[in-house]
């Protein structure tokens, strides 16, 4: 009997010391997998920042959803981005490894952290589009929708409710996660959908009075996606629970607004405090006790 072909992959695990262990091998034969490196993820992130020519103390890896909340409260989402940076770096790192393998770009596997971090440098935007073209449109079954409808009856968390409403009312398109660099920040995200003509973004709001702010955030996020995935239009849908209604907005991507938003983030990362939000936004903010804006002289928006 001939030897069976075995698919080799990067495998992540964590040792007893909580360090990231990156192995090369198969899930079926883990005892014989090759250990490529074992390192603290924060240290690996600092190495990558240095490799990119950026100070390791600066915020670099930012999720596009956090980026788009600037006009709600810039400082809140700066602090949230700082807290979540390692998670976004981890996704950035995993995508570069995984896509390089899928695209057949790995001639040999490096054995040092610096060498491994270089994997993905040669991925081109056209190749990301190629991977996207292979993804199938996802369609939600009626059984899943019925189950989600039951879960919604007991759910109070706005984020979870938003995901549930997207399952029930969102349009289905293929998508892909990828990263994009702008000066000294690296953005990471996955649109709710990507077609040849537009990026799609779905949002939820409980009250009609929050529609305007929800649209500002959704349009910002979709503009960033459209700009980087090179799509001319954005299609934004907002489900308002109070009205039990979907609002649809289709517009051209506003490239200048994307640049303006990115520059505002860079300005903030470089130490310049943004303007205060309206005071009522602070009432339920998770960072209220540590917020420097509450004691600053910056004007309220």
- Give yes or no: residues 24 and 155 share one domain: no
Residue 197 belongs to a domain:
yes
Residue 39 belongs to a domain:
yes
| Residue 26 contacts residue 8 (beta carbons within 8 Å) | yes
Per-residue pLDDT at 1: 33
- Give yes or no: residues 122 and 160 share one domain: no
What range does the domain containing 237 cover?
137-286
277: helix, coil or strand? coil
Residue 12 tokens, joined: 């992540």
- Give yes or no: residues 121 and 143 share one domain: no
- Give yes or no: residues 196 and 216 share one domain: yes
Instruction: Give the helix ranges, DSSP H, for 10-138.
Output: 41-51, 64-68, 70-102, 113-117, 125-134
- Give yes or no: residues 157 and 271 share one domain: yes
Residue 106 tokens, joined: 């790995």
Domain boundary (97, 129, 161) is at 129
CB atoms under 10 Å from CB of 98, counted, come to 16
Taking only the tens place, the pLDDT of each residue in 91-143 is: 999 999 999 999 999 888 998 999 999 999 999 999 999 999 998 777 788 88
- Give yes or no: residues 95 and 183 share one domain: no
Taking only the tens place, the pLDDT of each residue in 198-257 is: 999 999 999 999 999 999 999 999 999 999 999 999 999 999 999 999 999 999 999 999
- Give yes or no: residues 145 and 101 share one domain: no
Per-residue pLDDT at 90: 94
- Give yes or no: residues 223 and 198 share one domain: yes
- Give yes or no: residues 175 and 191 share one domain: yes
Residue 68 belongs to a domain:
no
The total number of structural domains in the chain stands at 2
């Amino acid at each position: 009997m001939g030897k069976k072909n075995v698919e080799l992959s990067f495998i992540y695990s964590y040792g007893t010391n909580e360090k990231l262990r990156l192995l090369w091998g198969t899930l079926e034969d883990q005892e014989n997998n090759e250990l490529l490196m074992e390192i603290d993820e924060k240290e690996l992130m600092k190495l990558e920042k240095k490799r990119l020519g950026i100070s390791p103390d600066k915020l670099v890896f930012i999720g596009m959803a956090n980026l788009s909340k600037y006009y709600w409260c810039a400082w809140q989402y700066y602090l949230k981005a700082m807290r979540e940076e390692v998670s976004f770096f981890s996704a950035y790192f995993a995508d570069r490894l995984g896509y390089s393998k899928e695209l057949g770009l790995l001639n040999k596997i490096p054995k040092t952290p610096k060498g491994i971090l270089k994997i993905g440098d040669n991925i081109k935007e056209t190749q990301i589009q190629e991977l996207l073209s292979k993804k199938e449109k996802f369609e939600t079954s009626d059984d899943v929708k019925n189950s989600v409808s039951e879960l919604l009856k007991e759910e109070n968390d706005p984020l979870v409710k938003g995901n549930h409403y997207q399952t029930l009312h969102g349009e289905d398109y293929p998508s892909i996660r990828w990263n994009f660099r702008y000066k000294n920040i690296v953005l990471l995200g996955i649109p709710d959908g990507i077609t040849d003509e537009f990026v799609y973004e779905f949002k939820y709001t409980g009250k009609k009075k929050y529609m305007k702010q929800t649209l500002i955030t959704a349009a910002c996020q979709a503009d960033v996606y459209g700009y980087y995935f090179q799509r001319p239009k954005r299609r934004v849908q907002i489900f308002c629970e109070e009205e039990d209604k979907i609002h649809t907005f289709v517009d051209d991507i506003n490239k200048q607004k994307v640049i303006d938003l990115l520059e505002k983030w860079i300005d903030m990362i470089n130490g310049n405090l943004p303007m205060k939000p309206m005071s009522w936004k602070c009432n339920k903010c998770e960072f209220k006790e540590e917020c420097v804006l509450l004691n600053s002289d910056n004007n309220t928006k």
